[in-house]
Chains A and B, each alone.
Chain A
Amino acid sequence: MTAPRVLIVEDEPRMTRFLETLCAAHGYRTVHAASGRDGIARAADHQPDVVLLDLGLPDLDGLEVTRQLRGWTHVPIIVLSARGREADKVEALDAGADDYLTKPFGAQELLARIRVALRRQARSPVDGEPALTVGGLHIDFAARRITLDGDDVHLTPREYAMLITLARNVGRVMTHRQILAEVWGPNAVEHTHYVRVHAARLRRKLEADPARPRYLLTETGVGYRLTDE
């Protein structure tokens, strides 16, 4: 099996060096593009397994690159952006990016995102896993049964639907809009507080310390993530 190929679309040379070094050290092959147009061209030429896309490129904005890539490829896209630009990230995620990282980020975070993206890429979208286990949390999709450290957890239909939505995308961030569309339907996408209240209720049932969650993580201004580790 050949090593997965990571396309790095980033104009800042030192950031590029860090990303290339880190990827290479973990056995990934890398391709670099310093602009959005170049990135799109290289994505077509090299068929990468995952794209790391900086949102602050000199020519095209990262959102436009995401849209253009999504016109013809399902390759996982992880967008990189600065703190305080939450709206940009949400836009990129809603436009089809798979995940994001806020600069500055740690190596561990980046590798975790790449790992999740590659795993999703390897699996065909229709063929879901029958069950998911994260730590003490076990979700049996077929039997619609949730257990925590061996004990049954009773959820309301909404809570269940929200947990399943996150579990089907385990390890990956889901925006408020995406969760609302899945759980409450397409008319609800503006009511982000529904998601927050139900996340809080889920935490009361799943987390030992709901303010410091182990499973259901908040991405401020963006959405939620069910951790995969």
Chain B
Amino acid sequence: MPPTGEPPFAGPRRRAAAAVVCLTLGVCTTVVLAFDAWIDATDSAMIYLVGVMVTAYTTSGAASVVAALLAVVAFDFFVTAPRFTLDVYDTHFLVTFAVMAGAGLAIASLTNRLRRKTAQALRHALAVETEQMRSAMLASVSHDLRTPLGTIMGAATALAEQGVDPASPHGHTLLATLREEAERLDHQLGNLLQMTRIEGGALQLTLEWHVPEELVGQALLRMRSRLGQRALTLEIDPAPELVRVDALAVELVLANLLENAAKYSPEGSPLEIVSGAAEGGRRWRVQVCDRGRGLPPGDPERLFDRFARGQTDRPGVGLGLAICAAMVGAHGGRVEARDRSGGGACFTVDLPIPHAPDADAPLEVAS
């Protein structure tokens, strides 16, 4: 056992480094012995130095220093006369040893320094990227929250200050706008709150057995005013009867997919929801499909990245699909986007179902 206080990977990592050192020097020695008739001692020293360089490149810190010193010993043992002893007849080889050790150590230290610098640069790049993502989020969020807020402010001031009669047709339009935009704002704030929960690691699922039809119905209810008079086809298979999910999370996922479908398909074009069992009842699959422009070119997976946006000319925090992916992932499921034959896109949520309980089993057993 390593002494206490060692990091947990010290053992295996040290063994791996030792293996690299042995292997490299072994290969160098084999080459030196195999080509013994054609090369002289200087060439052999060069071959060992190449070995040191390889070690320094593939392992870290101490291993490359050890390799540099072992290379000198191997050179002494296998190359200089008398061979296969550590004795040296020709004293000028002592200088060779010193130069070899010096060069080896220099290679080791330079490589290590380079490695540290690279790691630092990578960390820095990552920090910059995170910062850029944060700024992108703030920009996206403030834009998308301000848009409905702007409309609300406009409609409210028109009614309060500009003498638009609330009972007039114009007044009705403004009041309807106020309400719709407030609902939109509420939905987007809900998404934002959910995202911070996911990011902060505070996402706790309340898993209970639910009826798919009810989950779909609740998502539709949430999106009722957003969907307006659109034709909507519902195909809900009686199976699975129950799925084990967090109802609020799944409703949010379906609501976001509906919101997305509504956003990226023409006003009045039909939407479709299909729910059913898959893989012999071990999974629940629910699809939300539209007849819009279909997926943007590129990897469909990217749609589920935070702040990726299908088309940048549409409003909405680029959070909806990222939240879907996170929520579905938390349930151990998958969400996929695909183009649909005949035009449009389909988003499929696929969730595992553990062994379902029997809702008809008699209950009055424990009395």
A residues adjacent to B (C-beta < 8 A): 83-84, 86, 104, 106, 184-185, 187-188, 191-194, 196-200, 203, 209-213, 218, 220-221
Contact A211:B216 (CB < 8 A) given known A84-B193, A193-B357, A221-B248: yes
| Chain B hits for A106, CB < 8 A | 179
B359 touches A218 (CB 8 A): no
| Chain B hits for A212, CB < 8 A | 217, 220-221
Contact A86:B210 (CB < 8 A) given known A104-B182, A188-B363, A194-B359: no
| Chain B hits for A188, CB < 8 A | 363-364
Q: How large is the interface on B (under 10, 10 to 19, 20 to 34, 35 or more residues)?
A: 20 to 34
**Which of A83, A193, A213 meets B190, CB within 8 Å?**
A83
Q: How far is the CB of A222 from chain B (nearest CB, A)?
A: 10
Taking the complex as formed, is B311 at the interface, i.e. its CB lies under 8 A from any CB of chain A?
A: no
B247 touches A220 (CB 8 A): yes
A194 to B358, CA, bound (A): 9
Contact A218:B182 (CB < 8 A) given known A187-B364, A196-B242: no
**Interchain residue pairs A-B with the least CB separation, the first 9:** A193-B209, A197-B359, A211-B217, A200-B211, A188-B363, A196-B211, A211-B213, A184-B363, A220-B247
Closest to A82 in B: B193
A196 touches B217 (CB 8 A): no
A221 touches B206 (CB 8 A): yes
**Which of A83, A104, A191, A218 meets B214, CB within 8 Å?**
A218
Contact A197:B242 (CB < 8 A) given known A211-B213, A218-B218, A221-B206: yes
Q: How far is the CB of B53 from chain A (nearest CB, A)?
A: 59
Taking the complex as formed, is B290 at the interface, i.e. its CB lies under 8 A from any CB of chain A?
A: no
A118 to B218, CA, bound (A): 28
Taking the complex as formed, is B180 at the interface, i.e. its CB lies under 8 A from any CB of chain A?
A: no
| Chain B hits for A200, CB < 8 A | 211, 213-214, 241
B248 touches A84 (CB 8 A): yes
B363 touches A185 (CB 8 A): yes
A51 to B337, CA, bound (A): 48
